[in-house]
Amino acid sequence: MGALSIEELIRQSPRLGSLPDIVGELNAAADDPQSSVADLAGIIRRDPALSARLLAIVNSPWYGLRGEVADIERAVSLAGTQQLRFLALSTVIVRQFTNLPNALVTMDTFWKHSFTCAVAARALAESAGERDRERYFLGGLLHDIGSLLIYTTLPSLAKEAILHARSQNQPIYQAEQLIFGFDHAEAGGALLRHWGLPESLAATVEGHHELGDTGHFGREKALVHLANGIANAIHPSNTLFRQPLNSDPAAWGLAGLDTDQLDATLAAMDERVAEAMGVFYFAA
């Protein structure tokens, strides 16, 4: 068994354990059927840095809106309430945790892997006909947030798990289960629930290695699981080794995709990751 439960782990990490108040306000407004575009825009406008960043994002080639958008309310109207909500959450979370110190992984390495997964999840969701593509982007972006929780709170045990995974040529999450009694996917899902984010996101993060109950947000889990396989093959989350593209074969069917669509997803991946990091990460 691990030294701490996941709940204790979260309590011992005050920086990761809480998000700015605006996150709760955005979630409440986006989930309230009585809220209007103006309500959501009003919340975003109270954070000038967030407003500026969101306008830069929706006007970027990465996002792909036609014509210049100069006002947050117009951005919400064009992109949609849910899409802007997930873009805003992505922006706030990256800004909050860009410079989180730890001795096990550089933030550039961590976020490059995370953005690769996010971009792949967004592309796969689009191929699968999903309209809420920014929800999948955020799920991909946060899929390894539990690793940051572990690295910053249990650095010695985290290093032990990394070394065990390397020596046994074993996936890191299996080494974590052996040493902690839980893995970073479970820790990440619990952290997102603690933050009050939607259950669809928490379940997706929790199931990005082992799909588990596929009746519970199975398609979301499958798409981010596949995206993580792509990200591990292109930009691993640590410097252990570049892994072969290895995903649960059942995930393709759950996602409503087939392997023939993989080449289209991989096309220009580095360019799209660089564009996403340019608007979310390097500007944070």
**DSSP code string of 174-222:** HHHHHHHSS-HHHHHHHHHHHHT--HHHHHHHHTSSS---TTTTHHHHH
Q: What is the pLDDT of residues 238-282, one digit of tens each?
A: 654 455 556 788 899 999 998 877 777 777 888 999 999 998 887
- Rounded average pLDDT over 167-182: 91
Residue 155 pLDDT exceeds 50: yes
Residue 147 pLDDT exceeds 90: yes
Strands (E), the chain: none
> For residue 213, what pLDDT is reported?
79
- Rounded average pLDDT over 6-14: 90
- The pTM assigned to this predicted structure is 0.91
Helix/strand/coil for 17: helix
- Smallest CA-to-CA distance from 148 within 201, 198, 94, 193 is with 94
Residue 175 pLDDT exceeds 90: yes
- Model confidence at 214, in pLDDT bands (50, 70, 90)? confident
HSE (CB half, 13 Å, CA atoms) of 33? Answer: 0
> For residue 42, what pLDDT is reported?
95
Sign of torsion, CA 161 162 164 168?
A: positive
Residue 16 pLDDT exceeds 90: no
> For residue 1, what pLDDT is reported?
46
> For residue 245, what pLDDT is reported?
59
